[in-house]
Structure 1
Amino acid sequence: MPALEDLRSLDLANAQVMLWAIKGPTGAAAEAPHFSGRWVDTADEVDVALKETLVAELAKIEEVIEYGLLAQNNEASALQIPTDETHAGLLLDEVAAELDGKKASQINHLLNSKFYIAKFIVGDQIAFAVRKTEPGWKTKKAASFRNLYFADQQLAIDDRPHFELSKTFDFIIFGDTILVRNKGAFESVLRYKSTQREDFVELQAEVEFLAAFVDVTPLVEYVGDNKIQLRRACAIRDKGHYRDAEFMQRLRENQAEYGLVIQFDGDGKIIATPETCAQIMKALLDHRLKSGFSTLVYDVQDTTPVQV
Structure 2
Amino acid sequence: MENSNWDHINCGPYRAFKSSNLQDLAMPIPENFANFDIDNAGVTVWLFKKSGGGAGAAPTFSGRWIATTDELDAALKNAVFDARARIEEVLEYGLLAQNHEASVLAIDTLETFADRIIAATANPLPQRQIRNNAQIRNSEFYVIRLTSNGEILHAIHKTDASWKSRKQFQAIQAFFHNETMGLQEDPPVTLSRKVDFFIFGDRIYIENKRSFESVLSYRQAHEEEFAALRAEEPFAALFTDIAPLVAFVGTNRIQLRRVCAIRQKGHYRNQDFMQRLRAQFANYNLTIHFDENGRVNPTLETCADIITALLDHRLTSAFSENIYDVPDATRVN
TM-score, scaled relative to structure 1: 0.92
Residue type of the alignment partner of 2:33: L
Contact conserved, 2:28 with 2:90, CA < 8 A, in 1? Answer: no
Alignment match, 1:123:
149
Q: Say which SS state the counterpart of residue 36 (structure 2) adopts.
A: coil
1:265 corresponds to 2:291: yes
Contact conserved, 2:53 with 2:217, CA < 8 A, in 1? Answer: no
Alignment match, 2:256:
230
Unaligned runs of 5+ in 1: none
Residues 50-59 or 153-162, more deviating = 153-162
Residue type of the alignment partner of 1:78: V
1:195 corresponds to 2:221: yes
Question: CA offset at residue 270 of structure 1?
Answer: 2.2
Alignment match, 1:243:
269
Alignment match, 1:216:
242
Unaligned runs of 5+ in 2: 1-26
Contact conserved, 1:3 with 1:177, CA < 8 A, in 2? Answer: no
1:8 corresponds to 2:25: no
Alignment match, 2:98:
72
Contact conserved, 2:106 with 2:205, CA < 8 A, in 1? Answer: yes
Alignment match, 1:206:
232
User: In the alignment, which of 112, 121, 131 is matched to residue 86 of structure 1?
Assistant: 112
Alignment match, 2:315:
289
Residue type of the alignment partner of 2:103: S
Q: Distance in 1 between matches of 2:247 and 2:141?
A: 35
Deviations 1:187-224, CA, capped at 9 Å, x for gaps: 11110231333322222221111222233233233223
Residue type of the alignment partner of 1:283: A
Q: Distance in 1 between matches of 2:283 and 2:259?
A: 24
Question: CA offset at residue 237 of structure 1?
Answer: 1.2
Contact conserved, 1:25 with 1:190, CA < 8 A, in 2? Answer: no
Contact conserved, 2:55 with 2:223, CA < 8 A, in 1? Answer: no
Deviations 1:156-181, CA, capped at 9 Å, x for gaps: 33434422111111111001111111
Question: CA offset at residue 3 of structure 1?
Answer: 5.2
Contact conserved, 2:47 with 2:141, CA < 8 A, in 1? Answer: yes
Which of 1 and 2 has higher RCO (CA within 8 Å, sep 6+)?
2
User: Within 5 A, what are the aligned runs for 1:143-158?
Assistant: 143-158=169-184
Deviations 1:65-85, CA, capped at 9 Å, x for gaps: 211112222322211111110
Deviations 1:117-137, CA, capped at 9 Å, x for gaps: 000100110000001112222
Q: Distance in 2 between matches of 1:263 and 1:169?
A: 45
Q: Distance in 1 between matches of 2:31 and 2:181?
A: 46
Residue type of the alignment partner of 1:250: R
User: In the alignment, which of 147, 150, 166 is matched to residue 192 of structure 2?
Assistant: 166
Alignment match, 2:206:
180
Identical counterparts, % of pairs = 47
TM-score, scaled relative to structure 2: 0.86
Q: Distance in 1 between matches of 2:297 and 2:187?
A: 60
1:41 corresponds to 2:67: yes
Contact conserved, 1:146 with 1:159, CA < 8 A, in 2? Answer: no
Q: Say which SS state the counterpart of residue 194 (structure 1) adopts.
A: helix
Alignment match, 1:62:
88
Given the superposition, is the C-alpha separation of residues 27 and 237 from structure 1 closer, same or farther in structure 2, using an over 3 Å criterion?
closer
Question: CA offset at residue 6 of structure 1?
Answer: 2.2
